[in-house]
Structure 1
Amino acid sequence: MAHLWSAPPRAAETSPSKTKLPTEPTAVVPVEAGDVLHAPRCWWHAATSAGEPSLHPTGGLAGRTGVDLLTWLVDELHPEQAIRQALPGSGGQDHRASWRDQGAKLVQGRQSPGKKEAHKLRRPGRPCGVDRGSR
């Protein structure tokens, strides 16, 4: 029998109790001898045997996600003073447009051939919900 829990909300990933599963699984799937069950990325799962020996191999592919790309971009832009300043609030339409244009130029500067694929090399795959540590 396999019990599957859908991906936790982001707040649950970073809370101290992130290892606690919700009380009710999203799906309970009977698995027979020779069956293969795919648990989607970031879904918690628990497999139990029906009283006889069982093998439960688990494997994963560490593909990059949009979150990985955005995290890399935040890390890349963090040294930029313009990005660390307060967002324009009451500066008027021109001030907000200027800030947006400046931010766009900084992001586009990260798309040079050497930088474009760098995020793939710098950040190894990691299981969902695993804390990256503080910056």
Structure 2
Amino acid sequence: MADNDELSERKAHEFEKWKGGYQIRKIPRARKVGQSWLTTPISVIRALVPSLTLMLFELPDLIICNGPGSCIPICVISYIPRILGIKHVRIIYIESFARVNSLSLSGRLLLNFVDRFLVQWPYLAQKYPEKAEYFGVLV
């Protein structure tokens, strides 16, 4: 998760506490909401190194992401094991509930590269029938 996403961390702890044995890994956001496009390349590079380290040492089976700024580097790096024939890391992208009529920048960038692309509004599934899957509200 993004290194400054306290809400998701708290929810993950609440959800997983009864199971035990889970780990949360944090990476810097590649781009923050409202961040200047001039500073974005620097923050992307700052996010790539921890993302690469995470992928090399953890090599997950599945990545579930919803953006906005932390998922692009990890998704891009997850293609390295695929290309090298080491492992096919599956990627599921969940578009934000707030995206009713159009996809986010992260969604547009990842639409054709993820294994599954989930949307939370029927209109988006109709607008992108070749890839988007509608499942209703995902909490």
TM-score range, shorter chain: 0.3 to 0.5
Higher-Rg member (1/2): 1
Q: Flag the structure with more relative contact order, 1 or 2, with Cα contacts below 8 A and sequence separation at least 6.
A: 1
Q: TM-score, normalised by structure 2?
A: 0.33
